[in-house]
């Protein structure tokens, strides 16, 4: 089976993967599954992109029952105002309530990434929002990505993308934070756009009443990660350094001090 695994596609490859899991990984995870069989005690919620290259459980080495994982195109956090009329119900809203209100998860992390196809699309139409939408993906991005476009236009108006941006508070309304996007100019403009988008999402958690209370009591913390897919590196936004910092042996201890 191992030799044919990479040659098969579609559902056949999915079934091959399940068999491989049964033979290799399941015996190792069985004890973990038994621990959470009657109910998990999740520690956090990761909100990331649907992109198949972003495997949040792998990069965090999460065990069964540890994390809720929510995925949508562009790792967008809809503002709670979108759901106030009860005519529109979003999975993100339900997942946030399940994870952070009912199960009392302690942290929410938004994870963006390089070469994000959703963000690449939004980046490409950022100056042409008055034209008719070409489909549901574009509709989704236009509705929930306008803040990202506004922030990025401030950034690209500066020489060399050097402008300091101010983002609305992620933890409390009064705690607006500053950010320098890619200060060493390592990434292309559309990836800078993706980093801006990741930070822009943080403010929306305060729009949810059931999150606002816990945020104000410091029972819940909010963070942003960003992954460089081509190199397999993961960055954390440091509120102290005011930029995304690569998580490695040098930065790890300092970054942990920013966690509650």
d(C-alpha 208, C-alpha 185), whole Å: 35
The answer to whether 223 is annotated as binding is no
Annotated binding residue 113: yes
The Cα 85–Cα 255 span in angstroms is: 40
Q: Where does residue 249 rank: exposed (0-12), middle (13-18), buried (19+ CB within 10 A)? A: exposed
Residue 26: phi, psi to the nearest 5?
-55, -45
How is residue 183 written in tokens? 């200060």
- Domains of the chain are 1-39 (no CATH), 41-258 (3.40.1050.10)
Is residue 258 classed as helix, strand or coil in its secondary structure? coil
Element (H, E) at 58: helix 56-59
pLDDT tens digit at each of 260 positions of the chain: 445 555 678 999 999 999 999 999 999 899 889 989 888 789 999 999 999 999 999 999 999 999 999 999 999 999 998 877 656 678 899 999 999 999 999 999 999 999 999 999 999 999 998 899 999 999 999 999 999 999 999 999 988 899 999 999 877 767 899 999 999 999 999 999 999 999 999 999 999 999 998 998 999 999 999 999 999 999 999 999 999 999 999 999 999 999 97
Flag whether 116 is marked binding.
Answer: yes
Tallying the residues shown for the chain, one arrives at: 260
Cα 65–chain centre separation: 19
Write down the pLDDT at residue 27: 92
**Rounded CA gap, 105 and 99, in Å?**
6
pLDDT of residue 87: 60
Q: What is the pLDDT of residue 81?
A: 87
Query: What pLDDT is stored for residue 6 in this prediction?
Result: 58
pLDDT value for 7: 66
Buried-exposed string 3-37: b where 16+ CB fall within 10 A, e elsewhere: eeeeeeeeeeeeebeeeeeeeeeeeeeeeeeeeee
Mapped to the 3 state alphabet, what secondary structure does 222-243 carry? EEEEEEECCCCEEEEEECCCCE
- CA angle 249–254–260, rounded 5-degree value: 125
- The answer to whether the beta carbons of residues 222 and 171 sit under 8 Å apart is yes
Task: Supply the angle between the helices 26-36 and 10-24 in degrees, to the nearest 10.
Answer: 80
pLDDT of residue 86: 59
């Amino acid at each position: 089976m191992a030799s044919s695994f990479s040659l098969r596609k579609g559902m056949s490859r999915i079934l091959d993967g399940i068999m491989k899991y049964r033979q290799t990984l399941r015996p190792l995870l069985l004890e973990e599954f038994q621990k959470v069989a009657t109910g998990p005690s999740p520690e956090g919620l990761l909100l990331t992109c649907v992109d198949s290259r972003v495997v949040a459980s792998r990069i965090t080495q999460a065990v069964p029952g540890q994390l809720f994982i929510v995925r949508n195109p562009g790792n967008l956090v809809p503002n709670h105002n979108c759901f106030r009329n009860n005519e529109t119900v979003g999975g993100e809203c339900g997942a946030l309530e399940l994870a952070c209100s009912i199960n009392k998860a302690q942290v929410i992390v938004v994870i963006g990434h390089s070469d994000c196809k959703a963000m690449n699309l939004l980046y490409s139409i950022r100056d042409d929002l008055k034209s008719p939408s070409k489909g549901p993906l574009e509709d989704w991005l236009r509705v929930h990505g306008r803040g990202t476009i506004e922030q990025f236009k401030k950034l690209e108006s500066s020489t060399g993308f050097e402008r300091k941006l101010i983002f609305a508070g992620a933890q409390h309304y009064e705690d607006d934070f500053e950010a320098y996007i890619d200060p060493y100019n390592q990434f292309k403009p559309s990836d800078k756009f993706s980093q801006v988008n990741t930070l822009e999402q943080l403010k929306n958690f305060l729009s949810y009443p059931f999150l606002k209370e816990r945020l104000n009591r410091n029972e819940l913390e909010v963070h942003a990660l960003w992954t460089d897919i081509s190199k397999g590196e993961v960055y954390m936004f440091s509120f102290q350094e005011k930029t995304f910092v690569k998580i490695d042996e040098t930065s790890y201890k300092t970054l942990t001090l920013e966690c509650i």
